[in-house]
Amino acid sequence: MIEGLSHVTFIVSDLDRMEKLLTEVFDARKIYDSGDQTFSLSKERFFDIGGVWVAIMEGEGLTDQTYNHVAFKMSPDEYEDRLQRIQALGLEVREGRSRVEGEGHSIYFYDYDNHMFELHSGTLEERLRRYDEEK
């Protein structure tokens, strides 16, 4: 039986730069750094972001940007602050998709290695309720 999400791993070209992004945008807490050791495929660091184990490993970043992404929850009143943090790091913000009122707000952005992230203020229940109203 699946119990839930274990962790998410991103391959990044610069561990220090990605650590700065994770700590400044997501308030991530670093919980492990392999240093020069490689227990896995390469050097790695582990972080806790809102109770989610996020791993970053040193390697070659993605060559293309896609809509594949990981979304983290934020409260609605954090929108402007989080957007400013993202912009302060010079990250590319992608225009969000069109939305119906009541399904929350999102910030989509790419990291330095073309991974897309979303900060979203809504819940699944809110979205489904809102979509049901549109029928």
The answer to whether 44 is a known catalytic residue is yes
Strand, helix or coil at 45? Answer: strand
φ, ψ at 99 (rounded to 5°): -135, 155
Cα distances (Å, whole numbers) of residue 129 to 38, 76, 103, 122: 47, 18, 9, 11
14-23, 28-37, 98-107, range with greatest mean pLDDT: 14-23
Which one of the listed residues 3, 24, 44, 92 is annotated catalytic?
A: 44
- Measured CA to CA, the distance from residue 82 to residue 50 in angstroms comes to 15
Q: Quick one: pLDDT at residue 128? A: 81
Q: Quick one: pLDDT at residue 44? A: 96
* Encoded tokens for 51: 């109770």
Query: Would you place residue 25 in the very low, low, confident or very high pLDDT band (cuts 50, 70, 90)?
Result: very high
Quote the mean pLDDT of the chain: 89
Q: Quick one: pLDDT at residue 76? A: 87
Name all domains of the chain by residue range, CATH numbers in brackets.
7-134 (3.10.180.10)
Q: Specify the higher pLDDT residue, 38 or 101.
A: 38
- Measured CA to CA, the distance from residue 55 to residue 8 in angstroms comes to 6
Closest CA to 70 of 47, 57, 54, 92: 54
Q: How large is the average pLDDT for residues 100-120?
A: 87
Structural contact between residues 70 and 8, judged by C-beta atoms closer than 8 angstroms: yes
Inform me whether the pLDDT recorded for 45 exceeds 90. yes
The pTM assigned to this predicted structure is: 0.85
DSSP 11: E
Q: Quick one: pLDDT at residue 27? A: 97
Strand, helix or coil at 106? Answer: strand
